[in-house]
Amino acid sequence: MANSQGAVELAAVTKSFAGSRRAPGGYCALEGVNLSIRGGEFFCLLGPSGCGKTTLLNLGAGFEAATSGRVSVVGRPVTAPGPDRGVIFQTDRALFDWLTVAENIAFGPSVRGLPEGERRQRVEEYLQLVGLTDHRSKLPRELSGGMKQRTQIARVLANEPEILLMDEPFAALDAYTRSHMQREIARIWQATGKTILFVTHDIAEALWLADRIGIMSRGPGSRVERIIEVPLPRPRAKMTEDFISIFNELSELIDAAAKTDATD
Amino acid sequence: MTAVFQAEGQPAGPAAPRLATGASLAPWATYGGVLAFTLVVWTGLSMVTSPWFFPSPLETAKAIVTLTATGELPGAIGISYFRILTGWSIGCVLGVPLALVAGRVRFVRMLVEPYVNFFRFVPPIAFLGIAILWFGIGEKSKIAIIVYTSLFTVFMNTMAGAMAIDETPSRAALSLGASRRQVLTKVVLPQTIPAIIVGVRIGMGFSFMSVVAAELIAADEGIGYMIYSARLFVQTANAFAGIIALGLMGLLADSLLRLAALRLFGRHALAF
Ligand SMILES: Nc1ncnc2c1ncn2[C@@H]1O[C@H](COP(=O)(O)OP(=O)(O)OP(=O)(O)O)[C@@H](O)[C@H]1O
Ligand SMILES: [Mg+2]
């Protein structure tokens, strides 16, 4: 499934934030990050809070520019956001508060000028996928936290981007909905061959989903410390012994990368 | 779960639970009570003074009837409304787009900010003399004052609103394929609507103040003129009538504005 061209590549990327009067000197979030995500790959990024996962995603999305180094997507340098890279934000403030669930989902197809019929069909399809068909006419302020997040996911999927950048998309969901969404995203990924960069705190989630897992070190100047291939066969529906032993192994690596002393 | 909550006596429905502080009276009952209280105190005050010092509600009502019969009051209301609405509309039409651009484009903001920070200390009425010099004693000078008043207020509020909006929805729109221009019209503008409505409402309020001030000083018709000339001829009841008319005019204009805003922009998180 994976082809050899790097779908998302970061080469020697450094990202510093300028200082302010409150915090003079600035802050160097990422330093010398090298990462190559293969086309069609499901890549999970694990790391402690504040290590720079969102920052890394923002660079790939084109929301911010790297201080130095190269960020490219399918061989082209990233200069701006674009519909080839769908972004699911960590925060639910990303929704359009004045549009209904259905209108939020229709936004991408509509600004890109898809014909009315196809637009409507996609809205229905993805409303159903995230289980919001009955709530299609609600405004975001009338939704629960989990429903907002599902709206965001449907909105991005309805745009059918090649690459998905997902920032802890399931963190706000209840355990049942989360495992349902995990299965769905794995199914969509397998059916469509999209490239997915998926940020999470959750080791088990990364193990359910990823082909490879990148472990980030604690900041400042954090980097992708290690990359691990997940040798588990798919579908990964069960807590096998292999799963548990890899889980434990991974926990130790993360503790080491995060230099254990700090708490999350 | 739902059953438990309903058994607690919370009615199901869209109404948000009220953080009540004891007041469970219907609004009309409260308004009626306040009105009755006001009339009692007012009557009391008029009884211990004299009609030319503090006319009673009855005398004020008589003045309203007389002024209406002579056509003086309706005429004054009409001309003042005309000045306010004309000036305020022009102010809004100029102020909103300018404020949107200034709120979103740093360079434009830097150009206008010095002016804004200077003129915010210059009350509209200070320009009346100059306005008369430039536009004559007629309608134009008064309308110019209202334009200045509302333009300023609308501009300040809208710009603050456009500056304070969250960037995340704009970023989301860009990665969904929206152009810069689509982001401005389909995301930034809707996000700014609540601030625009606030600005437009406050602008209306200040326009009422300015028109009366202008009419007190330089006019021969309008509510402000009516109130002022009543003082000259010690027809205090007429001044009271004018003040009541003014309050009601404002109330009506604001209610219509709110109603229209709710109708047009009910989906937005309006601050009322
Ligand atoms: N705009 C900014 N200005 C200054 N510092 C910033 C800015 N954005 C992020 N940072 C800093 O960069 C570091 C990484 O932040 P980031 O949001 O990428 O963390 P994260 O790994 O996504 O954390 P979490 O798991 O809690 O979401 C943090 O120390 C943060 O304070
Ligand atoms: Mg984050």
Q: What sign does the CA torsion over A13, A18, A23, A25 have? A: positive
Residue B4 has pLDDT above 70, yes or no: no
B126 and B104 together in one domain? yes
pLDDT tens digits for B111-164?
A: 998 998 898 889 999 999 899 999 988 899 999 999 999 999 999 988 988 888
Within a domain: residue B212?
A: yes
Q: Three-state SS for A151?
A: helix
Residue-level pLDDT at A229? 93
Mean pLDDT of chain B: 88
Residue among A16, A17, A165 whose CB has most ligand 1 atoms within 8 A, to mutate: A17
Nearest ligand 1 atom, CA A52: 18
What average pLDDT does range A47-70 have in this prediction? 94
Within a domain: residue B9?
A: no
pLDDT tens digits for B188-234?
A: 999 999 999 999 999 999 999 999 999 988 888 999 999 999 988 88
Within a domain: residue B52?
A: no
pLDDT tens digits for A49-58?
A: 889 999 999 9
ipTM: 0.90
User: Using CA atoms, how far apart are residues A200 and B177, in angstroms rounded to an integer?
Assistant: 26
Within a domain: residue B4?
A: no
Measured by CA distance, the residue closest to atom 16 of ligand 1 is: A52
What average pLDDT does range B69-95 have in this prediction? 95
pLDDT tens digits for B21-43?
A: 555 678 888 989 999 999 999 99
Is the distance from the beta carbon of residue A55 to the nearest atom of ligand 1 less than 6 Å? yes
Smallest CA–CA distance, residue A180 to chain B, in Å, is 22
Within a domain: residue B129?
A: yes
Confidence band for B14, pLDDT divided at 50, 70 and 90: very low
B125 and B226 together in one domain? yes
Size of chain A, expressed as the number of residues it contains = 264
B67 and B192 together in one domain? yes
Look up the domain containing B188 and give its range: 57-269
- In chain A, domain spans: 1-84+161-264, 91-160
**Nearest one of B268, B177, B21, B60 to A112, comparing CA atoms:** B177
Is the distance from the beta carbon of residue A96 to the nearest atom of ligand 1 less than 6 Å? no
With beta carbons less than 8 A apart as the criterion, state whether A167 and A89 touch. Answer: yes
Question: What does each C-alpha distance from B63 to A24, A117, A189, B90, B91 come to in angstroms?
Answer: 69, 66, 79, 34, 35
Classify domain A1-84+161-264 at the CATH topology level. Rossmann fold (3.40.50)
First to last CA, chain B: 31
Element spanning A226, H or E: strand A224-229
What average pLDDT does range A153-163 have in this prediction? 94
B31 and B144 together in one domain? no
Measured by CA distance, the residue closest to atom 7 of ligand 1 is: A17
* Chain B positions in Cβ-Cβ contact with residue A62 (cut-off 8 Å): 175
CATH of the domain at B145: 1.10.3720.10
Residue-level pLDDT at B202? 93
B245 and B224 together in one domain? yes
Nearest CB neighbour to B175, from listed A87, A95, A97: A87
Within a domain: residue B131?
A: yes
Q: Do A139 and B267 touch (CB under 8 A)?
A: yes
Confidence band for B20, pLDDT divided at 50, 70 and 90: low
Smallest CA–CA distance, residue B245 to chain A, in Å, is 38
> Which among B6, B29, B47 is the end of a domain?
B47
Confidence band for B2, pLDDT divided at 50, 70 and 90: very low
Residue among A14, A30, A53 whose CB has most ligand 1 atoms within 8 A, to mutate: A53
Residue-level pLDDT at B155? 93
Q: How far is the CA of B161 from the centre of ligand 2 (A)?
A: 27
Of the segments A234-238, B48-52, B166-170, which one has the largest average pLDDT value? B166-170
B254 and B121 together in one domain? yes
Q: Do B268 and A112 touch (CB under 8 A)?
A: no
Within a domain: residue B5?
A: no
Is the distance from the beta carbon of residue A15 to the nearest atom of ligand 1 less than 6 Å? no
B117 and B179 together in one domain? yes
Q: Three-state SS for B32?
A: helix
Within a domain: residue B67?
A: yes
B40 and B128 together in one domain? no
pLDDT tens digits for B161-200?
A: 888 899 999 999 999 999 999 998 999 999 999 999 999 9
* Chain B positions in Cβ-Cβ contact with residue A159 (cut-off 8 Å): 176-177
pLDDT tens digits for B249-272?
A: 999 999 999 999 999 998 998 877
Burial of A264 (0-12, 13-18, 19+ CB in 10 A): exposed
**Nearest one of A83, A38, A35, A84 to A55, comparing CA atoms:** A35
B38 and B96 together in one domain? no
B82 and B186 together in one domain? yes
Partner A contacted by B175 (CB < 8 A): yes
Alpha helices in A31-166 (DSSP H): 53-61, 101-111, 116-129, 145-157
B25 and B104 together in one domain? no
Residue B77 has pLDDT above 70, yes or no: yes
B124 and B243 together in one domain? yes
